[in-house]
Amino acid sequence: MRDLFRGELVRLTSEEPDARARIEVRWPLDTEFHRLADGDPAELTSQKKLKEEFEKRAEGGFTPERYFFCVRTLDDDKHIGFLSLWLDLIHGDVMVGVGIGERDYWGKGYGTDLMKLCLQYAFMELNAHRVSLGVLEYNPRAMRAYERAGFRLEGCTRKDLLREGKRFDSLWMGILREEWLQQQNGVKP
Amino acid sequence: MFDIATQLFEGQDIRFGPIDYEKDPEVESRWTHNAGFMRLYEFEPARPMSAAIVKKQYEKLEKKIDEDKNLYHFMIRAKADDRLIGKAVIQRIEWANGNCSVRVGIGSTADQRKGYGTQALKMLLRFAFAELNLFRVSANVAEYNKGAFALMRKFGFVEEVRRRQALEREGRRWDLFVFGLLKDEWVNQVSA
């Protein structure tokens, strides 16, 4: 059996609410990170509130439709990002939320490795039929990571982002279970 | 077309109104017993709902509208006899980007194919673009919902995203489409 939680550069973890809040409270201060990750306006949350949210999640126990992970590097064991999966139980569609909050780790292959773990978990553990995500037009680096992991472009919602007075598109990507399985067996898409 | 005195909630044969907690739950409960309607209106599993459940949902909905401030919900009524014929919703409003998503449902089979859905969407688009001043309107449409496709074309929506096999119904997979209409496209249409 493969290791579901360990890639070549990163691993999936669950961090203590306190430790997680201490690190993640810094990430939105980097508004470029926020704007690359999300189309909503930037906002700041206190460490206390973050910690309470993570505690609430922990107390909530198992829910079959939500899966939250933290991401650590293998080489220096640093907590650099998060991965959240929402499974539509009825239609077998997984929606992905993902981010690397530590900018020193951008553009070095961590994201691609993380997306491979994400797909392995969605298809081999959640038994999803497909995996979906959205990416912003002005974030080509993320789009390349998703493409390398096997996602295909399924369309774009025109001009649905307004940033710095300019309109941008959101791009929507997806990968089907059969496509991922073929890719695992060495068939080129 | 652009006149401050225009009645936003009055159409040709229909009008928009608020929820009537006395009469509406029973009517909507009847709709939910029609699986065909439910499957076109929701991606969740169809299930019959009693008037008591529907009433609870109205309360939850109005609380959500109050708290989240990103949703407008209208009951569609026939002007002739004031009966409830459907629902028209603007949801998932993103104020900073000027986006929203719309949904129209005509509840009973007898009221379908009478042009009420077209009138409701026309009013909804005017409300979204000329009252809320939004920049774009989206709609999610399942591959099997032919009526919705016709409605999208009628209003010039552009097919923007095709989420392959995103739905499963009747033992097979179906694509889920996202349609979009921009404000200037709508303005050109209504001024023409």
A103-152 pLDDT, tens digit each: 999 999 999 999 999 999 999 999 999 999 999 999 999 999 999 999 99
Pairing type for strands A130-136 and B84-94 reads unpaired
pLDDT recorded at residue A137: 97
The tens-digit pLDDT sequence of chain B (192 residues) is: 678 898 999 999 999 999 999 999 999 999 999 998 999 999 999 999 999 999 999 999 999 999 999 999 999 999 999 999 999 999 999 999 999 999 999 999 899 999 999 999 999 999 999 999 999 999 999 999 999 999 999 999 999 999 999 999 999 999 999 999 999 999 999 988
> Does the CB of A160 have a partner CB in chain B at under 8 Å?
yes
pLDDT recorded at residue B82: 96
> Does the CB of A95 have a partner CB in chain B at under 8 Å?
no
Closest residue in A to B99 (Cα) is: A160
Q: Which of A93, A133, A168 to mutate to test the interface with B (most CBs of B within 10 A)?
A: A93
Q: What count of CB pairs under 8 Å joins A to B?
A: 72
pLDDT band at residue A186, thresholds of 50, 70 and 90?
A: confident
Distance from CA of B79 to the nearest CA of A (A): 36
Three-state SS string across B88-129, please?
A: EEEEEEECCCCEEEEEEEECCHHHCCCCHHHHHHHHHHHHHH
Bridge-partner residues for A3, per DSSP? none
| B97 contacts A39? CB cut-off 8 A | yes
A102-114 pLDDT, tens digit each: 999 999 999 999 9
Domains of chain A: 10-184 (3.40.630.30)
State the pTM of this model: 0.94
Please say if the pLDDT value at position A189 is more than 60.
no
DSSP A125: T
pLDDT band at residue A61, thresholds of 50, 70 and 90?
A: confident
User: Residue A32: helix, strand or coil by DSSP?
Assistant: helix
Distance from CA of A100 to the nearest CA of B (A): 24
Print burial letters for A115-154: b (CB count within 10 Å at least 16), e (below 16): bbbbbbbbbbebebbbbbbbbbbeeeebbebbbebbbeeb
Q: Could you tell me the residue ranges of all domains in chain B? A: 14-191
> Does the CB of A73 have a partner CB in chain B at under 8 Å?
no
Percent of chain A exceeding pLDDT 90 equals: 95
pLDDT recorded at residue B2: 75
| A159 contacts B44? CB cut-off 8 A | no
Query: Which CATH number is correct for B14-191, 3.30.70.20, 3.40.605.10, 3.40.630.30, 3.40.710.10?
Result: 3.40.630.30
> Does the CB of A158 have a partner CB in chain B at under 8 Å?
yes
| B135 contacts A162? CB cut-off 8 A | yes
Task: Work out the end-to-end distance of chain B between its first and last CA atoms, rounded to an integer number of angstroms.
Answer: 10
Distance from CA of B83 to the nearest CA of A (A): 34
pLDDT recorded at residue A60: 87
